[in-house]
Amino acid sequence: MSDQPNVLIVCTDHWPGSLFGVAGHPVIQTPTLDQLARNGCRFPRAYSECPVCIPARRTLMTGTTTRTHGDREFAETLRMPDLPTIAQTFRDAGYQAFAAGKLHVYPQRDRIGFDDVILHEEGRAQFDAVDDYELFLGDQGYAGRMFAHGMNNNDYLNRPWHLPEHCHVTNWTTQQMARLIQRRDPTKPGFYYLSYCHPHPPLTPLPCYAEMYRELEPDEPFIGSWAEDLDALPFALQTRRNSWDGFTEEQIRSARRAFYGMCTHIDHQLRIVLGTLREERLLDNTIICFTSDHGDMLGNHQQWAKRLYYENSAQVPMILVGTANDDRVGHHRVDDRLVGWQDVMPTLLDLTGVEIPDSVEGRSMVGENTRPYLYGEVGNGATATRMMHDGRHKLIYYPVGNCAQLFDLENDPNELTDLIGQPAYSGVEDDLKQRLSEELYGGDEAWVQEGHFVGLPDQAYTPGPNRGLTGQRGSHWPVPPQTGEGDVLKLS
């Protein structure tokens, strides 16, 4: 039996860093994750440098920034950069490496260093890959029924799950990971990547979780004074209104209930994976990291989904559990240092004693080398957004209209008051703007002239049609027709 520590990364999609009971959330039920946090260390100042699925996962897998790995947008057909991945680095050190769930790379069957990937890619048939979850549904007699519930990957309509419980993708992903652990080579340590696609919509909780949250009144969205007038928002925020403008209070409560139900479902299923590790006598020698590629605004500040640097979108869960008696991680700890997704790879390599590749830009979260600032970037052109964070203060910049916002998270954790231009914060504003200007590249440098941000000319927002219902999926049996080379359907 190997004495080298095993590693389990649990990654979700769309999970805000505040959605834990242990973090003080008044409604969410997360008993398993709350106990994991007590078993190790929670990092409440953890952020996704680019809070959208593909760029974030490139950062996680390479330990590099968006500038290095090449995607700050959502490049669905961009190959992984020629950099060592976390999976390949562990394999080179003698580990077996397996993944189950969502990988979100191109081509989809690129294993990026894993020995094997049991794949679910949320119905992206246009990329010519066989999806293992859809094969499973076919074997169960439900071929093409994944989206028969009629809900959408990119909006917040919701209803209970429509197939038997064991056919839910959360259950399937859990079972696949448990089986990978059971089928391991006992002479080698294991690196396991468990990647749940929820609580990312479609919001289709199992009926039992829908019932659970019908008994619990969801918290109401908070709206900052700067966000009350939708027509006065920066252009980049205006362009997001098409899909959910006009939600009623009941629709918002319904979406939150369904979303929370998806989270609790994952929390409960995670117990099966932990139980498998325990029964295989691996738990005390396994390092666990729970995180998410980004969060979800869930109606806060009248916004939904991701691609934003407000807390609900950019601040992500980061729970780290060491092996038994490893005081580098400890237990019942909360570490307020500023961390990003680029830090996951060097942290796990550090804890296992595996050499960190020179290409890695992140820092170990258990060392003394903390960072004073974190830069974030998402998008290009009219919807581009940039962030500079010093651990307490956050500057968000929208180039169109030359709009900057400043928040003091220590005194205003919900970002209700924009402090830009306030004399008491002029020093902080100047410092963060200077730091931000030093990070700009790829044409963004033109936003600064003679040492001052000038941005881009403002634009008027004009709503357009939503003919595809924000990327609605259809029947997947027979398999949908493929698009031609260079003509890829945009489905996030």
Question: Once rounded to an integer, what is the mean pLDDT over residues 417-442?
Answer: 98
Burial of 333 (0-12, 13-18, 19+ CB in 10 A): middle
Whether 147 has a pLDDT exceeding 60, the answer reads yes
The pLDDT tens digits for 350-393 are 999 999 999 999 999 998 999 999 999 999 999 999 999 999 99
Question: Once rounded to an integer, what is the mean pLDDT over residues 254-269?
Answer: 98
The pLDDT tens digits for 32-64 are 999 999 999 999 999 999 999 999 999 999 999
* Residue 341 DSSP label: G
Question: Once rounded to an integer, what is the mean pLDDT over residues 439-466?
Answer: 95
Question: In this predicted structure, which of 41-50, 156-165, 480-489 has the lowest mean pLDDT?
Answer: 480-489
Whether 486 has a pLDDT exceeding 50, the answer reads no
Return the pLDDT at 244: 72
Whether 487 has a pLDDT exceeding 50, the answer reads no
Confidence of residue 90 (pLDDT cuts 50, 70, 90): very high
Q: Which H or E run contains 404?
A: strand 403-408
Number of domains in the chain: 1
- Token representation of residue 86: 């976390």
Question: Once rounded to an integer, what is the mean pLDDT over residues 220-237?
Answer: 95
Return the pLDDT at 482: 67
Return the pLDDT at 203: 98
* Residue 315 DSSP label: B
Whether 479 has a pLDDT exceeding 90, the answer reads no
Question: Once rounded to an integer, what is the mean pLDDT over residues 150-157?
Answer: 94
What is the β-pairing status of strands 286-292 and 403-408?
unpaired
Output the pTM of the full model.
0.96
Return the pLDDT at 223: 97
Confidence of residue 241 (pLDDT cuts 50, 70, 90): confident
Active site residues: 53, 104
User: Rounded to an integer, what distance in angstroms lies between the CA atom of residue 127 and that of residue 96?
Assistant: 27
Residue 256: domain span? 6-371
Return the pLDDT at 1: 64
Which residues, including other chains, have CB under 8 Å from residue 292's CB and lie 6 or more apart? Answer: 11, 12, 13, 14, 15, 16, 17, 48, 316, 317
User: Rounded to an integer, what distance in angstroms lies between the CA atom of residue 413 and that of residue 59?
Assistant: 26
The better pLDDT of the pair 242, 179 is held by 179
Confidence of residue 124 (pLDDT cuts 50, 70, 90): confident
Whether 79 has a pLDDT exceeding 80, the answer reads yes
User: Rounded to an integer, what distance in angstroms lies between the CA atom of residue 382 and that of residue 150?
Assistant: 32
Return the pLDDT at 483: 58
- Evaluate whether residue 472 is within a structural domain: no
Question: Once rounded to an integer, what is the mean pLDDT over residues 204-212?
Answer: 98
Question: Once rounded to an integer, what is the mean pLDDT over residues 250-261?
Answer: 97
CATH assignment at residue 171: 3.40.720.10
Q: Which amino acid is located at 316 in the chain? A: V
Confidence of residue 488 (pLDDT cuts 50, 70, 90): very low
Specify the 3-state DSSP secondary structure of 118: strand
- Evaluate whether residue 179 is within a structural domain: yes
- C-alpha closest to that of 321 among 282, 369, 286: 286
- Evaluate whether residue 406 is within a structural domain: no
Question: Once rounded to an integer, what is the mean pLDDT over residues 463-486?
Answer: 80
Can you give the three-state secondary structure of 425-445, one letter per residue? Answer: HHHHHHHHHHHHHHHCCCCHH
Return the pLDDT at 489: 47
Question: Once rounded to an integer, what is the mean pLDDT over residues 467-483?
Answer: 84
- Evaluate whether residue 396 is within a structural domain: no
* Residue 127 DSSP label: G
User: Rounded to an integer, what distance in angstroms lies between the CA atom of residue 220 and that of residue 145?
Assistant: 34
- C-alpha closest to that of 287 among 6, 3, 2, 1: 6
User: Rounded to an integer, what distance in angstroms lies between the CA atom of residue 367 and that of residue 239?
Assistant: 41
* Residue 401 DSSP label: T
- Evaluate whether residue 214 is within a structural domain: yes
The pLDDT tens digits for 299-334 are 999 999 999 999 999 999 999 999 998 999 999 999
